[in-house]
């Protein structure tokens, strides 16, 4: 491995190792963690910190000079480093804290704002959703693709609401626009898994207006490499700093949803 100039495939291999290391901590801490609020409706557990520590250790072992932007130590200036790893050690903390098995570890790496590799790992189902730039997307090693949905009417759509309910008005308006048109709406509590599910065809679309880079980075690459369409919620190219997105299984579906959620 050339640590100075790694290929997307080499980066992906470390994403996988790091995500699994974090997931091992989540399983180990399950049922015996302490919880506190970072902000109203925004929990953090001992498991979050243990997972991020494990993820960081794997990254540092292979790429000690790379930057790391993690949810539990968010330093946005890390994105300016030549390579920056973007880590959510536990996406779906509230689900995890309540024993709801819908959560995961998200690990991605970017350079110059371009996503190069990413993994979303679901420890409850032992599912690894992985993608590298130009290398396609895979679920447990098998190539995956977005669904064939082309219209809102045939789509199962997920939304991620912000933790602060005073900021929910935009999403509620979008929900009321999309809900009557699509087959059904879902809110799982894990943006990373939502994006992974769009990538593998279990969901047809997903949007989030208020989101963090670590929630979206790996999943956005998954959808793109699986044949889907991803932009910011206003139709501009996805931006890792801004991080809001609309992800859909196809360009026609994306174009139909875009005016409904804006």
Which residues fall in the annotated binding site? 71, 88, 90-91, 215
Annotated binding site for Mg(2+): 71, 88, 90-91, 215
Separation CA 245–CA 221 (nearest Å): 12
Helix (H) or strand (E) holding 127: strand 127-132
Helix (H) or strand (E) holding 193: helix 191-200
Distances in Å between the Cα of 105 and the Cα atoms of 52, 92, 179, 245 are 9, 9, 29, 19
On whether the CB atoms of residues 203 and 154 are closer than 8 A, the answer is no
> Cβ-count burial of 227 within 10 angstroms (0-12 exposed, 13-18 middle, 19+ buried)?
middle
């Amino acid at each position: 491995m050339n640590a100075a100039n790694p290929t997307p495939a080499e980066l992906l291999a470390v994403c996988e190792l790091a995500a699994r290391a974090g997931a091992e901590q989540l399983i180990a801490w399950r049922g015996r963690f302490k919880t506190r609020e970072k902000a109203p409706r925004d929990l953090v557990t001992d498991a979050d910190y243990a997972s991020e520590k494990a993820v960081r250790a794997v990254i540092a072992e292979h790429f000690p000079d790379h930057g790391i932007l993690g949810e539990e130590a968010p330093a946005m200036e890390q994105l300016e480093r030549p390579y920056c790893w973007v880590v959510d050690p536990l996406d779906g903390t509230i689900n995890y804290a309540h024993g709801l098995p819908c959560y995961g570890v998200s690990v991605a790496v970017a350079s110059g704002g371009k996503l190069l590799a990413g993994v979303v790992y679901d420890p409850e189902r032992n599912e690894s959703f992985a993608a590298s730039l130009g290398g396609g997307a895979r679920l447990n090693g098998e190539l995956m693709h977005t669904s064939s949905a082309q219209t809102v009417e045939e789509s199962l759509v997920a939304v991620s609401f912000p933790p602060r309910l005073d900021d929910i008005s935009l999403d509620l308006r979008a929900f009321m626009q999309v809900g009557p048109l699509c087959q059904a709406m879902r809110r799982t509590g894990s943006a990373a898994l939502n994006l992974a599910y769009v990538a593998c065809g279990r969901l047809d679309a997903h949007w989030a207006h208020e989101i963090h880079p670590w929630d979206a980075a790996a999943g956005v690459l998954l959808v793109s490499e699986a044949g889907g369409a991803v932009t910011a919620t206003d139709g501009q190219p996805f931006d890792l700093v801004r991080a809001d997105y609309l992800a859909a299984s196809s360009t026609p579906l994306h174009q139909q949803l875009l005016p409904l959620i804006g």
